Amino acid sequence: MSADILLETRLIDLIYVLALAAVLWAVASSGIPSMIRLFGFQSFLLACGTALIARVANEPHLLGAALFTIVFKVFLIPLVLTYVMNRLKIRKEIEDYINIPSSLILCSLLTIVAYAVTLRVIQTRAPFNVAGVFAVALAIMLIGFFIMVNRKKTLTQILGLMFVENGVFLAAVAMTYGMPLLVEFGIFFDVFVATLIMGIMLFKIWDTLSDMDYKENL
Amino acid sequence: MILLLAALQVLTLLLLGPLFSTFIRKVHARIQGRQGPPLPQGHYDILKLLRKDRIYSVRSSFVTRITPAVNFAVVCVAALMIPVLTTTVPFHFAGDFIFFIYLFGLARFLTALTGLDAGSTFGGMASSREMTLSSLAEPAILLGFIVVSTAAGSMDISVMTAQLIDLPGKYLNPFFILTLLSFSIVIMAENGRVPFDNPATHLELTMIHEGMVLELSGRDLGVFQLAHTMRLLVLTVVALDVFFPFGLATEFTAYALFVSFGALLLKLFIAGVVVAYVETANAKYRLFRLPDLLTLAFALSLIALIAYYATEVAGVR
Amino acid sequence: MPEGTIETLSALFITAVVLLATAGLSPLFFPRSKRLAIFSFSLGVLAGLTLAVFSLGALANGAPVKFELPAGLFPTEPPAFLIDTLSAFFCLILSILLTAISLYSVRYLDHYDGTPVGVLAGFFHLIVLSMLIVFSADNSYQFLIAWELMTLFAFFLVLYEYRKEQAVRAAGYYIGVSHFGALFLIVMFILLQKFSGTVLFSQTAAQLANFPRWSLNFIFIAALIGFGAKAGIFPLHVWLPLAHPVAPSNVSALMSGMLIKTGIYGLLRILLIVHGSAELWWGVLLLAIASSSALLGVMYALMEHDLKRLLAYHSIENIGIILIGVAMALIFGFFNMPVLAGFALTAGLFHTLNHAVFKALLFLGAGGVHSVTHTRDMEQLGGLARLMPWTAAAFLIGALSISAIPPLNGFVSEWMTFVSIIQVYRIEQVPQALRIIVPLAGAMLALTGALAAACFVKVFGIVFLGTPRSEKALHAKELPVSMRVAQWLLALICIVTGAFPFLVINATAGVRIAFFGPEALIPASAGFLSAPGGAGTISTLAVFGALFFFLTVGLLLTRAFGKGRTSEHITWACGGEAGGRHQYTATGFSKPIRRIFSALYQPKKQIVVDTGDNKYQIRSIKFHGMTQNIFERYLYHPLIDGVGRLSQKVLSRQEGNINGYLAYIFLLFILMLLVGGSR
C-alpha cells in the first residue's frame, strides 16, 4: 500500500469494490424490495465513480453520463420496478435453483474468473486503476447473468439484466471513458424503455393467466 | 518487563470483559426505552454463579468437567497474543494471527463437545449449528487477516499493528474496507450476537451458543461466562487494533499507557454502541438464513484476497 | 561420527529386514495358529524398535547408508539399497507405526478368533517389508517389484473378510486403480533408464542434461498419476473409501498411515531427480489437484456415518494438504528461492509424519470401538467415553490433532503449509496464474481446516459422548492394556512433536538440503519455529506452558474453591424419558452443512411413514437421506462401463483356437524386429 496514490484513485477503487459488494449482497437477498434498493444503491455508487473518473481523466462528458445514471437508474427504473412489484403483489420470497450459500460461492468463483481474465488482457494502470475497475465490471456482468439464470421469478430476472447493464456501462467507462454523450443518453433511454415494456408485458401476462397457476412463476 | 505487560493485559481484559458485555446490554436497553442493568451487573452475575451449587448429568464425561477451564485458559492466552495497550504484544514470539484464530478453535471444539456430552437433543442441535457457522466464519476471518498481513508484510500481529498505525491511506483501500465488513459480520457471528444468535433467548430451539452450555451450572457456568465475555472483548479489541490502531502506546511509559487506556475505552464505547444498535435494528435470523450471511462474509473475504493479490501484490504496482 | 557407524546402521537395517521376513513368512505356514500370529506381531514390535533406532541413526549421520547384494545372484543389475535422509525419514515413520500397530494387534487378534489370523499377521509384516524395500531401493527394478508386492499383499488383506461383498468390490477397485497407476510408473521408469543409461536413482540425476524436454514433462505426469493413484489424490481416490474400511483395523491403520505415504515418497524421489528442470505448471497443476483433494475429501467425510469410511475420506484430505506443501516447494524452487522452498517441503514432510501418527491412532481407536461393539455405524454408538475412558481420551487427542487444533502437531504442519501459501508474495514478479491459484488454494485450505474440525466434533461427540444409541454400544468395555498403550504411544508422539517441532525440523534438514541446497535452512530452536524472512514466529511450547498455567487457574476456580455442592442427575428431557434415541444423530449433525453445499452433495431424501391399520396413528417414520458422489456417477461409472464394453469386444476375439494365438505372437515378433532392429 504505497502512500503516493492519488486520493481520487483510491476513492474510485473503493467505490467500485463497494458496487461489487452490493451485487453480491443482492445475490444473498431473498426479497425483491431489497434487491431493488441494492440496485439503486449500486447505480448511485457507479454515478459517483463516473464523476470521479471524469475528474481524474479530464473527460467532462462523463459528468453528463453520471447525471443520467442518477436520473434513470437510481430513480426512474427502481420506481417502475417497485410499481410493477406492487401491482402484481408479488410475494417477497424468491425461489432459485441453487440455494443462496452455494450461489454465493459460485459468484465468488465467477469474480475470480473475471479477475483472471482481466489480468491476461489489461496491463496499464494509469491514470486510475483500469484493471481493477474492469475486473469489477466484468464480475458484475457475470453475477448479473447468474442471477438471471438462477432465479425463477421474472422480476428478479429483469433485475439481473439491469445489473448486467450496469456492468457493461462500467466496463465502457473504464476502458474508453464512456461514449459520446448522445450515445450514452440513447442507451439510458433504451434501457428505461426496455424496462417499461417488460413491465407492461408482465401486466399483460398476469391478466391473461390470472385464472391459472402459472402466475406463480412470474 | 514482558511479564508485567502480560499480567497487565490479562487483568485488564479480565476486568473489562463482563463490563463490555453489560455495557452493550445497557445501550440495547436504553435504545428500547428501558433502563438496563447497572454496569457491574456482569461481574455480579459471575460472582453469584461462583457461589452456586452445580449439577452434572449422569451421562456427561470428563469433557464437561474440563471445558470451562479450557475456555478460560484459551481466552487468557489469546489475550496475550494481541496488542491491548501497547503495540508490543507479550506473546508475539509465540503466536501469529493464524495461531490466534486456531486457538479459539480449541475452545470451540471442546464447547461443542460439551453440547453433545449430556446426551440432550438441544445440546446436539446447538453444537451442530455452532460448528456449521464456524466452518464458514473461521475461513472468512482468516482470509481477511491474510490480506492485512500481506499488506503489512508480516504475520505477527504486533508488527501488523505497528505498520498500520502509519498508514493513513488505508481507509480508502477497498480491500481493507471489504475485510472490515467481513470481519464485523464474523465477530457478530462468533460471539452469538443478534442476528446470529439471541443471547437473551429462553427458547432452546433458537439457541446456538446458549444451547451448548445448557448443562453447565454453578462454578462451571461462572467461569465459562467470564471466558465468553472476555472472548467478545478480545475479538473486538483485535479488530479495533488492526483497523483503528491509533492511540496505541508505542513506548512503555506511564503517560503513553494512560493515553492508550483512554483510547481503548473510547473505542470500546463506540464499538459497544454500534453492536447494540445493530442488535436492536435486526431480528434474529432463522437458522438457515445464517449461512447466507456468513457465506457472504466468506465470499467478500475471498474476493478481497484474490483481488488484492491480482492487482496489488509484487510486480504490478 | 565414529567409525563403523555405517556398519552398525547396516547391521540394524538387516536385522530389521530379517525380523520382518521371519514375522511375515512364518505365520503363513500355520495360518490357524493364533500363538504364531502373536509371536509374529511381537517380532514386529521388535523390528519396529530396531528400525526406529536405525532411522534415527541414519538421520543423525547425514551420509547415506548403502550396500549392494552380490551381483552373482541376480540375472540383471543387483538390488542396491540406498538410505538417504529422505528414505530414513520415511523409515522412521514406518517404524513408529510398525511398533504401535504390532503392539495393538497382539490383543486385537482376539476379535478375529476363528479366522486364519496367521494370514493376517504374515501379510501384514510382508507389506511392511515391501515398503521398507521401496524406501531403501536404489534400483528401479527393485523398486517396482517391491511396489507390486506391497500392493498385492495389501490386496490380500483387503480381501481378508472375503465373504462380505463390500470387501470383494473394494479389493477389485483397489487392484484396478493400483495397476492403472503402475502402468504409468513402468513407462516412467523405462524413460528414466533410456535417457540416463542407468537404473540407479542415485546416478540418474547427474544425467539430467540428456533428457529432452518432453520426456521430463511426461515423467512428471506419469509420476503424478502413478504415485498419485497409490496416494489417493483426486480423481484417483475412489478405491480409498472402499478399501480402507473393509480391511481389519490394524491393516487400515497401516494402509492409511503408511501405504498411501509410499505414493508421496515415490513422488518425492522422482522430484529429487528431476526438479532441477521443473516447469512452473508442474507446481500449479499439483497445487490445483492437491487443494481439490483436500476440500473434496473433507466434504465427503462430513456426510459419512460409517466410522472407518469417514476416516478414509480424511486420509484423502490430508494427502491433499501434504501435496499442497510439495507443490509450493516446487513453485518456490522454480523461482530459485531455496529458503521458502525448503520450508514448504518441510511442511509437507511434517504433515506426512503427523498424519501417519494421528491417522493410525484414530484407526486403532475405531478398531477398538468396532471390536467391542461390533459395529462401525456411528448412529448406533454413543456414551463410550464413560465405558472406555482411556481409548476415548487418546481418540480425542487424535481428533484434536487432525483438526489442526493448537498446540498439537497437526496445527504446526498446517501452519507451515499456510505460511508457504501466504509467502507467495515474496516472489519478485508473481505471474498471473499464481496470483489467482495460490490464494484460492489458501482459501480452500482454510475451509478444509474448519470443516475437518466440524467433522471430528461430530465423530467424537456422537461416538463417545452422550448415551448409547443402541444395544450394541451398551456392551462396550475398555480395551486390553497393550491396545491402550499402543494408542497412547501415538498420542504422546502427537503431543511431543507438537510441543517440540524442532525435532522434526532438524530431522528433515537433510532432505531440504538435498533438494534445494545448503541455504534451505529453517530457524528452529527448542521453543520456537520461525517463518522465513522473519514473517512470524510460533512457539507451541510457550503456548503449552501458558495454557497449562491458566488451565490450572481455571481448574482451581472450578474444582477447588467455592462453596457450592456438586451432584449428579439425569439429563432433562422435558419431563419424559430421555433415551439414547432422543439425542442428535450423526446425519442430523451434518445436515446444515449438507444444505449449504447442496450443489455438491445433491442430497436426496425419502421419508416413509408407517401407519399400520389406523391411518391416524403413526407407528414409525423412517428417514432415508442420501448424498450422491457426483464423481462416481459422472466419471467412474461411465468409465468403468466403457472399459467393460471394450473388454467384452476383446473377449469375443478369443476363439480358443491355437492358430489364432500363434498368429498374434508371430505378429508381435515381427513388430519387435521392426522396432528394435531400427536402432
pLDDT of residue B89: 77
DSSP B158: H
Given a cut of 80, whether residue B38 has pLDDT beyond it is yes
Residue environment code for B194-212, b if the CB has 16+ CB neighbours within 10 A, otherwise e: bbbbbbebeebebbbbbbb
Name the residue with cell 436520473.
A71
pLDDT of residue C92: 94
Residue A212 lies in a domain: no
For C604-633, what is the mean pLDDT? 77
**Record: contact B151-A1, CB cut-off 8 A:** yes
Residue A198 lies in a domain: yes
Mapped onto helix, strand or coil, the DSSP state of residue C164 is: coil
pLDDT of residue B315: 44
Candidates B82, B102, B313: best to mutate against C (most CBs of C within 10 A) is B102
Please list, in sequence order, all residues whose beta carbon lies within 8 angstroms of the beta carbon of residue B73, skipping any fewer than 6 positions away: C546, C547, C548, C549, C550, C551, C553, C554
Structural domain of C285: 278-554
Do residue C411 and residue C289 come from a single domain?
A: yes
Element (H, E) at C667: helix C658-677
C677 or B39: whose pLDDT is higher?
B39
Residue C617 lies in a domain: yes
Given a cut of 50, whether residue B10 has pLDDT beyond it is yes
Residue C324 lies in a domain: yes
Rounded Cα distance between A194 and A199, Å, is: 8
Residue C252 lies in a domain: no
Chain C neighbors of B62, CB-CB under 8 A: 385, 389, 393
Residue C424 lies in a domain: yes
Q: How far is A166 from chain B (nearest CA, A)?
A: 20
Rounded Cα distance between A54 and A3, Å, is: 23
Secondary structure, 3-state, C83-138:
ECHHHHHHHHHHHHHHHHHHHHHHHHHHHHCCCCHHHHHHHHHHHHHHHHHHHHEC
Mean pLDDT of chain C: 85
Do residue C373 and residue C487 come from a single domain?
A: yes
Given a cut of 90, whether residue C448 has pLDDT beyond it is yes
Q: Is C445 left (phi over 0), alpha (psi -120 to 50) or beta?
A: alpha
C586 or C560: whose pLDDT is higher?
C586
Q: How many CB atoms lie within 10 A of CB C609?
A: 10
Chain A neighbors of C432, CB-CB under 8 A: 116, 119-120
For B40-55, what is the mean pLDDT? 87
Given CB atoms, is A10 within the 8 Å cutoff of chain B? yes
Of C422, C568, C573, the CB nearest to B146: C422
For B287-312, what is the mean pLDDT? 81
Q: How far is B228 from chain C (nearest CA, A)?
A: 13
Q: Which of residues 153-172 of B touch C (CB under 8 A)?
A: 153-156
For B24-37, what is the mean pLDDT? 86
Given a cut of 70, whether residue C27 has pLDDT beyond it is yes
Residue A216 lies in a domain: no
Given CB atoms, is A104 within the 8 Å cutoff of chain C? no
Element (H, E) at A196: helix A181-208
Phi, psi for residue C336 in degrees, rounded to 5: 55, 50
For residue A167 the three cell numbers come to 456492468
pLDDT in tens, C233-260: 988 888 898 889 988 898 999 999 999 9
Q: How confident is the model at residue C73 (pLDDT cuts 50, 70, 90)?
A: low
Measured CA to CA in angstroms, residue C238 lies from B21, C226, C262 at distances of 50, 15, 18
Residue environment code for C318-336, b if the CB has 16+ CB neighbours within 10 A, otherwise e: bbbbbbbbbbbbbbbbbbe
pLDDT in tens, C316-368: 999 999 999 999 999 998 988 888 899 999 999 999 999 999 999 999 999 99
Residue C664 lies in a domain: no
pLDDT of residue C72: 59
Do residue C466 and residue C615 come from a single domain?
A: no
Mean pLDDT of chain B: 82
Rounded Cα distance between C559 and B218, Å, is: 11
Measured CA to CA in angstroms, residue C594 lies from A150, C446, C451 at distances of 20, 18, 12
Q: How confident is the model at residue C490 (pLDDT cuts 50, 70, 90)?
A: very high
Mean pLDDT by 10 residues, chain A (218 residues): 57 84 87 88 90 78 82 86 81 73 88 83 62 86 88 82 88 74 75 80 74 56
Structural domain of A73: 7-206
Report the amino acid identity of residue C128: V
**Where does A56-157 show beta strands of DSSP type E?**
none
Given a cut of 70, whether residue C677 has pLDDT beyond it is no
Rounded Cα distance between C593 and C591, Å, is: 5
Residue C451 lies in a domain: yes
Chain A neighbors of B173, CB-CB under 8 A: 1, 10, 13-14
Q: How confident is the model at residue C96 (pLDDT cuts 50, 70, 90)?
A: very high
Measured CA to CA in angstroms, residue C189 lies from A93, A206, C201, C220 at distances of 61, 70, 10, 11
From C491, C521, C554, the end of a domain falls on C554
Mapped onto helix, strand or coil, the DSSP state of residue C568 is: strand
C310 or C635: whose pLDDT is higher?
C310
**Where does C470-618 show beta strands of DSSP type E?**
529-530, 537-538, 566-569, 604-610
pLDDT in tens, C261-275: 999 999 999 998 888
C412 or C655: whose pLDDT is higher?
C412
Residue A138 lies in a domain: yes
The C-alpha R_g of chain B, in whole angstroms, comes to: 19
Given CB atoms, is A17 within the 8 Å cutoff of chain B? yes
Mapped onto helix, strand or coil, the DSSP state of residue B133 is: helix
C302 or B166: whose pLDDT is higher?
C302
For residue B252 the three cell numbers come to 512503555
Residue A211 lies in a domain: no
Partner residues linked to C566 by β-bridges: B54
Rounded Cα distance between C221 and C213, Å, is: 13
Mapped onto helix, strand or coil, the DSSP state of residue C62 is: coil
**Least confident piece of the model among B14-18, B180-184, C215-219:** B180-184
Given a cut of 90, whether residue C131 has pLDDT beyond it is yes
Q: Subunits with at least 3 CB pairs below 8 A relative to chain A?
A: B, C
Mapped onto helix, strand or coil, the DSSP state of residue C66 is: strand
Q: How far is A112 from chain C (nearest CA, A)?
A: 7
For residue B63 the three cell numbers come to 469433557
CA dihedral C361, C363, C369, C373 (to 10 degrees): -170
Residue C326 lies in a domain: yes
The total of structural domains in chain C comes to 2
* Closest C-alpha among C382, C387, C393 to residue C467: C382
Measured CA to CA in angstroms, residue C102 lies from B224, C97, C120, C425, C481 at distances of 42, 8, 11, 46, 14
DSSP B59: T
The total of structural domains in chain A comes to 1
Given a cut of 90, whether residue C457 has pLDDT beyond it is yes
Residue A218 lies in a domain: no
Given a cut of 80, whether residue C458 has pLDDT beyond it is yes
Rounded Cα distance between B60 and B123, Å, is: 12
pLDDT of residue C199: 77
Of B178, B294, B295, the CB nearest to A21: B178
Q: What is the ipTM of this complex?
A: 0.91
Rounded Cα distance between C291 and C279, Å, is: 19
pLDDT of residue C254: 93
Chain A neighbors of C595, CB-CB under 8 A: 99
Q: How many CB atoms lie within 10 A of CB C285?
A: 17
Residue C490 lies in a domain: yes
Do residue C512 and residue C617 come from a single domain?
A: no
Of B172, B293, B296, the CB nearest to A10: B172
Omega before C235 cis (within 30°)? Answer: yes
**Record: contact B296-A108, CB cut-off 8 A:** no
pLDDT of residue B255: 80
**Least confident piece of the model among A148-152, C42-46, C262-266, C445-449:** A148-152
pLDDT in tens, C365-385: 999 999 988 888 888 888 888
Rounded Cα distance between B299 and A28, Å, is: 10
DSSP A92: S
Using alpha carbons only, give the angle B21, B239, B273 rounded to the nearest 5 degrees: 40
Is-contact C6 C101, C-beta < 8 A?
Answer: no
Q: How confident is the model at residue C284 (pLDDT cuts 50, 70, 90)?
A: very high
Given CB atoms, is A122 within the 8 Å cutoff of chain C? no
* Closest C-alpha among C495, C576, C597 to residue C541: C495
For residue C292 the three cell numbers come to 481439490
**Record: contact A25-B168, CB cut-off 8 A:** no
Of C432, C435, C599, the CB nearest to A102: C599
pLDDT of residue A4: 42
Measured CA to CA in angstroms, residue C248 lies from A68, C74, C245, C593 at distances of 73, 36, 8, 31
Given a cut of 60, whether residue C2 has pLDDT beyond it is no
Of A16, A24, A115, the CB nearest to B310: A115
Do residue C422 and residue C352 come from a single domain?
A: yes
